[in-house]
Amino acid sequence: MKFVDEAFIDIAAGDGGAGCVSFRHEKYKEFGGPNGGDGGRGGHVFAVADPNLNTLVDFRFSRRHEAKRGEHGMGSDMFGAAGDDITLKMPVGTIITDAETGEVLYELLVPGEVITIAKGGDGGFGNMRFKSAINRAPRQKTPGWPGEKKSLKLELKVLADVGLLGMPNAGKSTLISAISNARPRIADYPFTTLHPNLGVVRVGPEQSFVVADLPGLIEGASEGAGLGHLFLRHLQRTRLLLHVVDMMPFDDTVDPVAQARAIVGELKKYDKALYDKPRWLVLNKLDMVEPDKRAALVKDFVKRFKWKGPVFEISALTHQGCETLVKEVFKHIQAQQVSEQPPVYVDPRFSGEAADPEAS
């Protein structure tokens, strides 16, 4: 299925049905009085976060979504039936914004979450609503209220704990296939990955995290060059970035340090908050370097790159160093999850400590 992470749709909730003007016409009941019912409510438009979806492609080809209008009121005190609601299934991580103002309206972050994105109009009042002591034969009614109509932009940001960052052919696809259950397309030419791949990394029983392999960045990506700029938004929700560097590029004239600097520069241009995220350096393809030369090569790279953060030496192809990397990533994610939890208030009456009598 084609990956689509942006779509524009028009939605319209149903209009409410009109009220009815009617009077009782029963034998032996003179001046029977009004019995016109109210109109029915228009159908709502709901959005539900479906964990089984990972693309917005369905909305690329189906842009108009309308709920049914409510039925009109009828005589004999009969109210009109409500219009049928419609539910739009969207991937978890979808951001819904107003296409005209750019205002963020909703975010679908929890699987199964249901939100109302357009409310149906209320039904109009029938003439039985207007009966009073001085108006016993009202002929008033009101039309139904219109349902909400909106033009929306849908934007999908994949929900992953870890994002892989790097130039094309840095070995990101090989790495995600080595540490997770994802099986991305792998080849020896640039831009093998054309859309994000998600993989679940199992660390132990009930211990796992999600990693995203994104298309490679190139210099100028923040201005639209290459493919990576289309997917930089997917890094914004990650807790950790792994900057994968190809230490043995096919072209001998290519300097890994210059490539790494270009990636960092594009990251900073695109989003300062993204640039400030925790980022670790993962030096890949070290299996292609003679064992006695690896330490000197790594030391030279770190010195010229002026890197002071964590460094991991791996070979995604042979899985060398991958286990250590996974364990350290999981520890970091666990620590972040604990720090993100709000403090728990403990009532001193139940904490096991004597409460201060003057506090009350």
207 strand-pairing partners: 204
Would you state the pLDDT for residue 251?
77
Summarised one tens digit per residue, pLDDT across range 217-259 is 555 544 544 444 456 766 777 889 899 998 888 777 888 898 8
Rounded to whole angstroms, the Cα distance separating 17 from 229 reads: 48
So where are the chain's domains? 6-156, 162-339
Low-confidence ranges of the chain (pLDDT < 50): 1-2, 184, 186-194, 221-222, 224-229, 351, 354-355, 357-360
pLDDT of residue 182: 57
d(CA 32, CA 28): 9
User: For residue 173, which phi and psi values (nearest 5 degrees)?
Assistant: -65, -40
Instruction: Kindly write down the DSSP assignment for every residue of 140-203, as one continuous string.
Output: ---PPPPPPEEEEEEEE----SEEEE--TTSSHHHHHHHHSS------SSS----S-EEEEEEE
Which positions ≥6 away from 335 have C-beta within 8 Å?
none
Rounded Cα gap, residues 120 and 164, in angstroms: 43
Q: What is the CATH class of 162-339?
A: alpha beta
The pLDDT assigned to 111 comes to 87
- CA dist 266 and 191 (Å) reads 17
pTM: 0.64
Which pLDDT does position 121 carry in this prediction? 94
CATH 1.10.287.540 fits 6-156, yes or no: no
Distance between CA atoms of 127 and 153, rounded to whole angstroms?
41
DSSP 336: H
